[in-house]
Amino acid sequence: MAGKAKEQAGRSVTSKVVALLEAFDPAAVELSLNDLARRAGLPLSTAYRLATELVEWGGLERGDSGGYRIGLRLWEIGSLASRGVGVRDVAVPFMQDLYEATHENVHLAVLDGREALYIEKISGRLAIPVKSRRGGRVPLHATGVGRVLLAYAPPDLLEEVLAAGLRRYTPHTIVAPGHLRRALAEIRRDGFGFAHEELTPGTASVAAPVFGADFAVVAALSIISCTSRVNLRRLGPAVRLAAICISRELRDGPSPAGIRPVAGARQRS
């Protein structure tokens, strides 16, 4: 007990507030006070006191069943995160076009640490439901967007990913370093890449890089669909074209209304 008390005393209040927020994840969007305290590693009384302050602010809310959940005020402040927003704002209209043209799930992801983070998803009733969501993270080596981001990232990142080990999610996941290096080289050669049932059985993706004003890759655009529904390789050029349009607008600003030429110079292949 003495050791535990000392450990608690060494934690800043900020770190405890952070621990409370970090207790939530997509599989635990509502938590009882007990679970909240346990997951945050805090004594019940501390968790209760801090959670009460956060509820008063609106950063947490009480659910219908009495549990705690992330509040709309935190969602609202989180929506001010500006990294990626410039890309997203330019990308969304083209993502919408791509959805209308294909009726498949369209995603935009950015690199965050050693993972790809979905910052936008456009989908509809005509698309195959897939589990991906805005705010979701996926591994770099086993997804279309991840491999595209990895293909154009500084080489150090690939070495870090290889050093951490390539986890096998399905029998199709690329787990051999040489195989992954070849896949990345193919993406740089073709301007788009595929992942076929490597993270989730029955699901495949095709992705292409979005280049910023300085020609560095700032995001990856993808379509995710059901392998039985469509030959995704046929959609590669459409995804690449949309990514080129987004890249051009990031570089040159918007084309005059109504005149948006779709012929795109190869960007970096």
| Phi then psi dihedrals of residue 55, to 5 deg | -70, -40
| Pick 166 or 242: Cβ nearer a copy of itself | 242
- Nearest approach, Cβ of residue 15 and a copy of itself (Å): 7
Residues in 240-269 at the binding interface with a copy of itself, rule: CB under 8 A: 260
Q: How far apart are CA 98 and CA 207, in angstroms?
A: 12
State the DSSP H helix or E strand holding residue 159, giving kind and residue range, or none if neither: helix 155-164
Contact call for residue 125 and a copy of itself (CB under 8 A) = yes
- Nearest approach, Cβ of residue 200 and a copy of itself (Å): 19
Choose the stretch contacting a copy of itself; rule: CB under 8 A; options: 18-26, 138-146, 174-182, 189-197.
18-26
Q: How far apart are CA 139 and CA 164, in angstroms?
A: 12
Contact call for residue 81 and a copy of itself (CB under 8 A) = yes
| Pick 93 or 237: Cβ nearer a copy of itself | 93
Q: Give the amino acid at 21.
A: L
State the DSSP H helix or E strand holding residue 19, giving kind and residue range, or none if neither: helix 13-22
One residue of 1, 6, 14, 163 binding a copy of itself per CB under 8 A? 14
Contact call for residue 80 and a copy of itself (CB under 8 A) = yes
CB crowding 158-191: b at 16 or more within 10 Å, else e: beebeeeebeebeeebbeebeebeebbeebeeeb
Contact call for residue 70 and a copy of itself (CB under 8 A) = yes
Q: How far apart are CA 119 and CA 89, in angstroms?
A: 11
| Pick 23 or 187: Cβ nearer a copy of itself | 23
| Pick 25 or 252: Cβ nearer a copy of itself | 25
Angle at 66 between CA 61 and CA 67, to 5 degrees: 65
Residues in 165-224 at the binding interface with a copy of itself, rule: CB under 8 A: none
Query: What are the strands, taking DSSP E only, across the chain?
Result: 30-31, 60-62, 68-70, 105-112, 115-122, 137-139, 193-196, 203-211, 217-226
One residue of 36, 37, 42, 74 binding a copy of itself per CB under 8 A? 74
Nearest-Å Rg of the Cα atoms of the chain is 21
One residue of 135, 165, 201, 202 binding a copy of itself per CB under 8 A? 135
Contact footprint for a copy of itself (CB under 8 A): 12-15, 17-18, 21-22, 24-26, 29-30, 50, 53-54, 57, 59, 61, 63, 69-72, 74-85, 92-94, 96-97, 99-100, 110, 112, 117, 119, 122-125, 133-135, 137, 260
